[in-house]
Amino acid sequence: MTTITLTVNNSPTALTVPPMKRLLDVLREDLHLTGTKEGCGEGECGACAILFNGELANSCLIPALQADNATITTIEGLAINSAHLHPVQQCFLEQGGAQCGICTPGMILATHHLLAHHPNPTEAEIREGLAGNLCRCTGYMRIFESVKQAITLTPNP
């Protein structure tokens, strides 16, 4: 067992966990943040995507010990509260970007990350930015519409 300290959704936390436990499981089991999903367990689908020190990362590929001192944002950390959604969440809701919803947390974090780096992404940049997140329901078109709407709502630095 190893003790790690990390900041999740702005809350500092200390945990004693097996060093090789997947960060995905630490989030879901130890911190009860079940909005982060497991789709494949091998870093292909992006359902477990989180922001790890500001970068988009698949939490199924990160051992707990590597998360020591990390700053993490999960889907639960994005909205102010259930009435005040993050603009990206609002756009996914309005544009039909979520169907079954299982890829949605990862897809929303990927969009958030994309827009943080490319406030005005081209169509190609949107496609590339989301290519690590698989969606089986939408064919991605409603997701692209969600991202395009979010561009107009996200303050341009």
Partner 1 sequence: MSHDTPIIGTSPLRKEGRAKILGTAQYIDDQTLPDMWHGATVRSTIARGRIRSITFAPHIDWSQYAIVRAHDIPGENTIVHLTKDHPCLAAHDINHVAEPILLLAHPDKTALLAAKTAITITYDELPGIFTIEASEAAAEAFNRDPNDTTNIIWPGSTHGGTANCFKQYQMYSGEAAATEDALAAAFESADHIIYGEYTTGAQEQLYIEPNGVIADCDLDPATGHVRGVTVRGSMQCPFYLVHALTLVFNLPEERCRVIQVETGGAFGGKEDFPSVIGSHAALLSMKSGHPVKLVYDRGEDMAATTKRHPSRTRIRTAVTSDGRLLAGEIDIAIDGGAYATLSPVVLSRATIHSPGPYKWPALRVRSKAMATNIPPHGAFRGFGAPQTLFALERHMDKIARTLNLSPEHIRRQNFLATGDHTATGQPLLEPVDMQHLLTRALADSDYHAKRAAFTESNKTSQIKRGLGFATFMHGAGFTGSGERRLNSLVHLDILADGRPQLLVSSTEFGQGTNTILSQVAAQTLSLPYDDILIHEVDTAVVPNSGPTVASRTAMIVGKLVERAAEEILSTLRNQAALPTPHTRADFITAAQTYLTYHPQLRASVRYEPATKIHWDDDLYRGDAYPGYAWAVYVAEVAVDYDTYQTTVTRFDALQEVGRILHPILAKGQIEGGVAQGIGYALYEKCVYKDGHLMNNQMTNYIMPTSADLPVIHVAFEEVPSIHGPGGAKGIGELPMDGPAPAILNAIEDATGIAFNSIPLLPEDIFERLTNFTIHPHGGSEDLDPTIDPATRVETPEVNA
Query: What x/- string results for residues 22 through 41 when contact with partner 1 is judged by CB under 8 A?
Result: ------x-----xxxxxxxx
Task: Calculate the CA dihedral of residues 84, 38, 50, 79 and round it to 10 degrees.
Answer: 0
**Position 20, amino acid:** M
Closest residue by Cα to residue 73 from 7, 154, 147, 155: 7
Give min distance, CB of 67 to partner 1, in A.
19
Give min distance, CB of 102 to partner 1, in A.
3
Query: What x/- string results for residues 43 through 82 when contact with partner 1 is judged by CB under 8 A?
Result: -xx-x--------------------------xxx--x--x
Rounded to whole angstroms, how far apart are CA atoms 123 and 1?
Answer: 46
Closest CB to partner 1 among residues 70, 105: 105
The strand pairing partners of 14, in sequence order, are: 5
3-state class of 85 per DSSP? Answer: coil
Give me 60's structure tokens: 């199924």
For 91-117, give one letter per residue: b (16+ CB within 10 A) or e. bbeebebbeeebbbbbbbbbbbbbbee
Give min distance, CB of 74 to partner 1, in A.
7
Of 15, 72, 105, 115, which one interacts with partner 1 (CB under 8 A)? 105
Give min distance, CB of 146 to partner 1, in A.
9
Q: Under the rule (CB under 8 A), what is the footprint of partner 1?
A: 28, 34-42, 44-45, 47, 74-76, 79, 82, 85, 89, 92-105, 108, 126-128, 130-144
